[in-house]
Amino acid sequence: MSKIAVVGLGPGHTDYILPKALSAIAQSDIVIAGKRNLESIDVSGKATFIVGNNLSQMIEFINDNRDSKKISVVVSGDTGFYSMLRYLKKYFGAEELDVITGISSMQYMFARIGQSWEDAYLGSLHGRKSEFIEKVKEYDKVGLLTDNKWTPDKIATELLINGIDQKIMYVGENLSYENEKITKGSIEQFAEKKEYHICVVVISNE
């Protein structure tokens, strides 16, 4: 029985997929991933399983096929940063997984704005109760993965309500793609409601 490969795909564009990740995918008989991730890689001649709100079915599918097939579970960004790895480890031991790192969207974002991130607080608002206000007060830099509820304008409004108005915000949309857009401005500027794609936000004392 071969190990289940958990493969980080990077921020999105194929230029940022590591060769090791491509090799693992190429050697797989089955590729499990979200629809957008499947569209970013060559899965011709391979069986696929599209991940949505079907995680229990995904685990069942893996168990049904892992004895005879080589499986890769492909995740966005890096495997160790708010990916499906934590969920998979509820069902499979570390010795059953071959975890292949990727470039996280957070790494990419900090690089694009020309800042280091070893001293930053990094978090995610994906389906989570917000505790970012205290982190913004405590840290000089905060990086956040957003969702459809905690959009940049909602984050900026919450910061203003809590008296935080002297920091700089960066918003990165469609990171690494041709339509990438990175915007820099004051908290007040971002409080104006507008439509955003799921993006990365950095709040800095800069």
Q: Give the pLDDT of the chain (206 residues) as one tens digit per residue.
A: 789 999 999 998 999 999 999 999 999 999 999 998 998 899 999 999 999 999 999 999 999 999 999 999 999 999 999 999 999 999 999 999 999 999 999 999 999 999 999 999 999 987 666 689 999 999 999 999 998 889 999 999 999 999 999 999 999 999 999 999 999 999 999 998 888 877 999 999 97
Q: How much is the pTM?
A: 0.89
Phi and psi, residue 138, nearest 5°: -85, -35
Closest CA to 49 of 28, 24, 77, 27: 28
Looking up tokens 């790494």 gives 107
pLDDT for position 130:
66
All structural domains of the chain:
4-103 (3.40.1010.10), 106-204 (3.30.950.10)
* Contact status, residue 11 vs residue 103, Cβ threshold 8 Å: yes
The Cα 180–Cα 193 span in angstroms is 20
pLDDT for position 195:
83
Read off the tokens for 199. 């993006």
Q: In what order do the strands lie in the sheet with 4-8?
A: 47-50, 30-33, 71-75, 4-8, 97-100
pLDDT for position 189:
95
